[in-house]
Every structure is written in C-alpha cells, then in structure tokens.
C-alpha cells in the first residue's frame, strides 16, 4: 500500500485540479441520485392513495425542521397536482422529473469520468517519461547487468498494466467513497437499527474477498517476470537473426520461445481466474447481505418494533442495493491494485536504481584541455568483490599527444578509456584533467570535451545528416558535408536516393559495416573535441578506405589529444607513446621503435601480424 500511495503522491498530485473536479461531480451525482429516490417515494405514496392524509403548505421559514418542511411540501404539491391535473398527468410529470434528475445525475457522472481521462493519461505519460529519463542517466554498468528485453518489458507491459490496474482504479477510489458515505448517511438517517445490523454483517464480505486477493500480487509479479523473458527472447532473436539462420537454429529458438510463452500462459490463467472471481463472489455476497437485511427489517416491521413503515423500508432497501455497487467496485479495485502493484514494483527497480556516478556539489568549470590527462595509480573493478580489470595504471597524455593502447583481448584497454568520460568510477587512484580530478567536473562538461569512435559503429534509425550531426546543436549541412568528406563518406552518401536525407535503417542496417564506421568517424570529426578516443576505429574498413580514413584521422589527430586502442599495429606506428596492457597492467611502454628493440610483448604481437 505504501508503494500505491507513493505513486499517487508523485504522479497524481500534479493533477490535483482534475481530482478536485472529479470529487465535485461525483458528489453532485450522489446527491442527485439520493434526492431522486427520496422525492419519488412520498409522491408515489400519495399518487396511488397509499397515504390518505391531507397536507397543508408549510412556510419555508416556519419553526419546523427543514426536513419536515421539505417532506410536507412535497406531499402538498403532489396533492395539488393530482387535484388539478389528475393522477395520470401527475404521473407523467413525475416521470419527466425523474428523466431530468437522471439526466443531471448521468451528466455529472460523465463529467467526473471525463475529467479523470487527462489524469490517467497524464500519469502514464509521466511514468514513461520518468523511466526514460532514468534510463538515460544510469551508468553503463546497469545495462550490463540487466537484459534489454526486460527493460523494454517494464517500459511497455508493466506501464500498461499500471494504467489498466491502478489508474483504472483511481475513478473507483474517487467516486465510491463519496457514494458510500452519502448512501450510509441516508441509511442511518432512515433507520439506524437496520444500518448497524448491516455494518455488522458487511465485514464478512470484506473478509471473503481478502482471502482471494492475498496471492494475486505474487502471481502477477511472476507473470510479469515471464513477460520480460518473452521480450528478452524476442530482442535476442531479432539481434541474432543472422546467426540463427546461419546455424539453422530456427526450430531451437521457436521451441525455447514457445516454452516461455506456455509458462506465461499458465501463470496468466491463475491470475485471471482469481481476478475473474471478484465479480461473482461480490455479487453473491451482496445478495446474501440484501437477504439478511430484508429478513431482519421485515421481522422488525412484522413485530411492530421498527420506527419505519413498509414504504420507507422499500426506500431503505433501494438505497442499500445502490450501496452494493460501489462496494463491488471496491472489490474490483481490491483485485486490480495488487495486480498493478506487481508492475509498480518492477518499474521501481529502474526508477529507484542507484546511480553511483554522482555530480559534484561544487563543480569546477572546464571548457577545454589545456595541459594533460593523467591516470594516477588507477585501479578499477566492476564489483567490489570482483577482480581488478585495470590495476595500478600510471599514464600521462600531454595535450596534442597520441597515446596508443595495445594488448590481447580482455587486457583492459576499452575499460581504461571508458573511465575517462566517467562511464564508470574508479575504486582507487585518480584521473586528472589539467591537474583536477575528473570527479570535480560536471559530467556534461567533461564529456563535451571527448569524441568517441568505437569498434562497433553505433548508429540510429535516422538520416545520414542526423547521425553525423548527432549531439552537435545547430550543425549546418555544409559542416556535415565537410566532416563526411574527411571521413571518406561523402561519395557513398551522395550515391543514395536522398543523399544526406536518406534513412540508414535500424542500427544502420541499410549500409555496409565499413560505411557505418565512416559515418561514426564523421560524427566524431564534426563534434571537433579536444580529446579523441579511437577504439579500433578503422577495424571495419577495407584496405583502401582504411588508408583514406587513416590519413584523415592523422590530420585530425595532429591538433587533438588522442588515445587510440588498436589491434592492427600498423595504424599506431606514429603514436607518441605506445602502452602494452596485459591482465590490466601496463607491462611495456615506449615508441614503436623502442618497443621493437625491447623484444617483449609488443614485438611478439608485431611479428604475428607480419606473418
């Protein structure tokens, strides 16, 4: 329940104006509903000659109570109408009165429901936006531990379940308390003895329903977890379709997928059966309640122990029956909310995920690299109890220098350069920019100095222009073209149907791997960063394209501070310093010629590539 209140406080409170409007119209609807029944009973008593008493008009400012004056004058006006127009026409007028009263009542109900629509849709929009904002701020380590399909499932299926279960129940939670209070007030006013008896019997209804609800949240949580598995399986299938077909593993993947969906179906059967039980159980128990009150009230009337007469008792039963519907709605909400809370719990795992990458309280301003980057005795591991990925790294990169990192796969090269833009924070040591710890800078300011070209070209389902201009505000077409020319991408872009306005497909699937890499390089060139990180930037290019792009990168690197990761040693021969990493440590460093002369790790790597 705390989570439910937290959701309402966080996401419903901004729409408190809509809540107030809904409360007003629900209250008006309840008053009109009660008033129509209260005014109908005395009119029908007189109309059908049940009541033989003659009534005289009472002044509205008379000494009698307002209740007595209202009831007496209703009787009086009804008598006058019967005497003037006759019973038949009077009955028609009563019917018209009920039509107008019902129109106002249903109009108020529609207004209350209509006001809730912007509230419901606004809450869901805000939750989705909050999840997306949180996702964009979480560190990369979060996504290495979570499955992408599970995150997508929480954004789609879980948020949809919150809309269906929780925000769908908001209207019941706003409307029904008003109806229940109004109806109970009328019931107490009509007969406090019968109402006390009703309240003694009613807890049995709540107990019976609660016994069914208890397991619903746990089963719903299991079902949503299975839904996440389905989405993860689908995401893996779409991403690995080439491998699945290459290894003729279609049937294996189908069997695996069908096993997950069957398991999900079995859980959904349990959840939906338990949820479907709400209406028949509440219907049955409501009927039991009506019968018990009918028996008890009839017994009192037969024994002349009740202060109400038979017509008033009928009115009491009508209001009591009207009370049953909001109680049924509450029982429905009692099922829907626990079902939705399972989804809230899963969504909160994202919204409440801790981000270890903290902004400094008093950030230092930085606009450019003036002196050097220094890794001072840096040690990093992904988890506190895990092994060190990089260990006691000491490295200085002066402004304008190019430092290359080489070594076998898993040596920690990519992890080391990921520490500079604070994708992860180190456990020991310091990383300094111009003598200041990078944790003292705003993250956005720090990353604005750095341009990345990764081994895997990460592109978006957009045009060439928007992919190259990504992250650069107000980039002109001429600037984008110049960057593309430097990256040797302009010619193949212009050969496409729409040139720079041509969409490249999901992750750039409509262009080749080498072309994707050149677009990625053009994006880094356009950003014009002080620090350039090249993570196997030319690995996906053919020989001719590699030569042309390497020449462009060489020209760019002359005025940039560059850290380059390379397996192909021919691309980093001219680096100012080459560091050889092995099992997270720098084991050799120097220029190409110095490392060849040393005859260690680097020379062995170089010799293997010469074969």
Query: Do residues 162 and 340 touch, judged by C-beta distance below 8 A?
Result: yes
- 417/228: higher pLDDT: 417
Return the half-sphere exposure (C-beta side, CA atoms, 13 A cut-off) of residue 48.
8
Q: In a 10 Å sphere around its CB, with 0-12 CB exposed, 13-18 middle and 19+ buried, how is residue 379 labelled?
A: middle
Q: Give residue 549's pLDDT band: very low, low, confident or very high (50, 70, 90).
A: low
- 438/167: higher pLDDT: 438
**R_g of the chain, CA atoms, integer Å:** 37
**Token representation of residue 462:** 């957009």
Q: Give residue 439's pLDDT band: very low, low, confident or very high (50, 70, 90).
A: very high
Least confident of 456-465, 469-478, 564-573: 564-573
Return the pLDDT at 555.
67
CA distances from 109 to 69, 176, 328 (A): 30, 12, 17
Q: Give residue 13's pLDDT band: very low, low, confident or very high (50, 70, 90).
A: confident
> Is residue 335's pLDDT more than 70?
no
Q: Give residue 43's pLDDT band: very low, low, confident or very high (50, 70, 90).
A: low
Other residues' Cβ atoms within 10 Å of the Cβ of residue 174: 21
- Taking the C-alpha atoms of residue 18 and residue 114, their distance in angstroms, rounded to an integer, is 10
The mean per-residue pLDDT over the stretch 300-308 comes to 66
Return the pLDDT at 120.
81
Reported as a single tens digit per residue, the pLDDT across 440-453 is 999 989 988 988 88
Q: Give residue 122's pLDDT band: very low, low, confident or very high (50, 70, 90).
A: confident
- 37/262: higher pLDDT: 262
Return the pLDDT at 395.
92
> Is residue 216's pLDDT more than 60?
no
Return the pLDDT at 209.
59
Structural class in CATH, domain 2-351: mainly alpha
Q: Give residue 307's pLDDT band: very low, low, confident or very high (50, 70, 90).
A: low
Return the pLDDT at 306.
58
> Which residues are CB-contacts of 422 (< 8 A; sequence separation ≥ 6)?
357, 438, 439, 443, 446, 447
- Taking the C-alpha atoms of residue 508 and residue 521, their distance in angstroms, rounded to an integer, is 14
The mean per-residue pLDDT over the stretch 96-112 comes to 83
**Token representation of residue 476:** 């002109």
> Is residue 144's pLDDT more than 80?
no
Give the start-to-end residue ranges of the domains of the chain.
2-351, 372-610
- Indicate the fold that domain 372-610 takes in CATH: Rossmann fold (3.40.50)
Fold identical between 2-351 and 372-610? no
Return the pLDDT at 397.
92
Reported as a single tens digit per residue, the pLDDT across 359-405 is 898 999 988 888 899 999 999 988 777 788 899 999 999 998 889 99
Least confident of 74-88, 227-241, 337-351, 543-557: 543-557
Return the pLDDT at 332.
67
- 243/601: higher pLDDT: 601
- Taking the C-alpha atoms of residue 359 and residue 444, their distance in angstroms, rounded to an integer, is 10
Arithmetic mean of pLDDT over the chain: 79
Reported as a single tens digit per residue, the pLDDT across 511-539 is 887 788 888 888 888 888 889 888 876 66
> Is residue 42's pLDDT more than 70?
no
Reported as a single tens digit per residue, the pLDDT across 53-82 is 677 878 877 777 666 677 677 777 777 777
> Is residue 221's pLDDT more than 70?
no
- Taking the C-alpha atoms of residue 357 and residue 375, their distance in angstroms, rounded to an integer, is 18
Reported as a single tens digit per residue, the pLDDT across 155-209 is 877 887 787 776 667 767 777 777 788 888 888 877 777 888 878 777 766 666 5
Return the pLDDT at 377.
94
Per DSSP, the residues of 373-442 read EEEEEEEE-SSTTS--SEEEEEEEEETT-EEEEE-STTSSHHHHHHHTTTSS--SEEEEEETTEEGGGB-
Q: Give residue 342's pLDDT band: very low, low, confident or very high (50, 70, 90).
A: confident
């Amino acid at each position: 329940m705390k989570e439910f209140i937290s959701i309402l406080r966080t996401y419903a409170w901004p729409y408190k104006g809509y809540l107030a409007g809904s409360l007003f119209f629900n209250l008006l609807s309840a008053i009109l509903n009660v008033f129509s029944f209260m005014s109908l009973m005395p009119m029908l008593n007189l109309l059908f000659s049940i009541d033989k008493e003659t009534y005289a008009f009472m002044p509205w400012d008379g000494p009698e109570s307002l209740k007595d004056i209202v009831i007496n004058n209703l009787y009086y006006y009804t008598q006058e109408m019967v005497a003037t127009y006759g019973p038949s026409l009077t009955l028609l007028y009563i019917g018209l009165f009920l039509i107008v009263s019902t129109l106002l009542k249903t109009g108020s109900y529609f207004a209350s429901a209509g006001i809730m629509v912007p509230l419901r849709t606004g809450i869901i929009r805000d939750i989705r936006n909050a999840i997306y904002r949180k996702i964009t701020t979480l560190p990369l380590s979060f996504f290495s531990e979570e499955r992408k399909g599970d995150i997508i499932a929480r954004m789609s299926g879980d948020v949809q379940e919150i809309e269906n279960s929780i925000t769908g129940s908001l209207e019941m939670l706003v409307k029904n308390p008003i109806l229940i209070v109004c109806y109970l007030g009328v019931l107490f006013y009509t007969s406090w003895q019968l109402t006390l008896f009703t309240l003694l019997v009613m807890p049995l209804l709540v107990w019976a329903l609660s016994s069914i609800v208890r397991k619903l949240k746990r089963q719903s949580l299991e079902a949503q977890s299975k839904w996440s598995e389905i989405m993860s399986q689908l995401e893996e299938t779409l991403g690995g379709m080439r491998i699945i077909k290459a290894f003729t593993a279609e049937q294996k993947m189908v069997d695996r997928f069908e096993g997950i969906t069957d398991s999900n179906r079995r859980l959904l059967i349990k959840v939906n059966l338990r949820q479907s039980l709400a209406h028949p159980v509440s219907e049955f128990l409501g009927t039991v309640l009506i019968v018990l009150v009918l028996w008890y009230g009839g017994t009192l009337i037969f024994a002349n122990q009740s202060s109400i007469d038979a017509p008033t008792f009928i009115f009491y039963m009508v209001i009591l029956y009207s009370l049953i519907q909001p109680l049924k709605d509450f029982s429905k909400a009692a099922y829907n909310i626990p079902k939705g809370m399972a989804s809230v719990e899963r969504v909160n795992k994202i919204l409440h995920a801790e981000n270890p990458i903290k902004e400094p309280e008093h950030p230092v301003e930085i606009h450019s690299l003036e002196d050097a980057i220094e890794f001072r005795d840096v040690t990093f591991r992904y988890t506190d109890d895990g092994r060190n990925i990089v260990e006691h790294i000491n490295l200085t990169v002066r402004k304008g220098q190019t430092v290359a990192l080489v070594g076998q796969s898993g040596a920690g090269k990519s992890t080391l350069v990921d520490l500079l833009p604070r994708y992860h924070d180190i456990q020991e040591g310091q990383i300094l920019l111009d003598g200041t710890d990078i944790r003292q800078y705003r993250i956005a300011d720090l990353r604005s100095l750095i341009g990345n070209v990764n081994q895997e070209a990460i592109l978006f389902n957009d045009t060439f222009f928007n992919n190259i201009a990504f992250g650069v505000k107000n980039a002109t077409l001429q600037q984008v073209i110049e960057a593309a020319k430097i990256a040797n991408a302009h010619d193949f872009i212009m050969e496409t149907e729409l040139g720079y306005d041509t969409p490249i497909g999901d992750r750039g699937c409509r262009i080749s791997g080498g072309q994707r890499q050149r677009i990625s390089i053009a994006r880094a060139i356009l950003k014009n960063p002080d620090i350039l990180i090249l993570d196997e930037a030319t690995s996906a290019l053919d020989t001719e394209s590699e030569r042309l792009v390497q020449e462009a990168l060489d020209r760019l690197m002359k005025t940039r501070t560059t850290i380059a990761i390379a397996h192909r040693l021919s691309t980093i021969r001219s680096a100012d310093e080459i560091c050889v990493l092995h099992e997270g440590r720098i084991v050799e460093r120097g220029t190409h010629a110095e490392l060849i002369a040393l005859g260690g790790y680097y020379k062995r790597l170089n010799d293997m590539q010469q074969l």
